[in-house]
Amino acid sequence: MKKLAGLLGVLAMVSFVAACGPDMQAINAAGDKAEADATRAEAAANSAEASANQAAAASKQAEDAASGAEDAARRAEDAAQRLEAAFSTSVTK
């Protein structure tokens, strides 16, 4: 009787392992796919971060250029006003 119970227990375990075999392969495949997806997501995040850094640098450069252009326009306007004032003064004398 003990041998029969033991034999049935072993048979049940073998049946359980055999039944789980294909499921374990599916689970392993899903885990591998999830790991590959995570790796691709990490690469995409790194690429996005690099692009954001490049955009920030380009924005800073454009802001500096705009500020320089604004200063140049202000200096040109000041020079034109001084020239106009000098001309007005010389005409009225």
pLDDT in tens, 20-54: 666 777 778 889 999 999 999 999 999 999 999 99
Q: What's the pTM?
A: 0.53
Alpha-carbon span 47 to 39, nearest angstrom: 12
C-alpha separations of 20 from 16, 27, 29, 49 in Å: 6, 10, 14, 42
What is the per-residue pLDDT for 17? 64
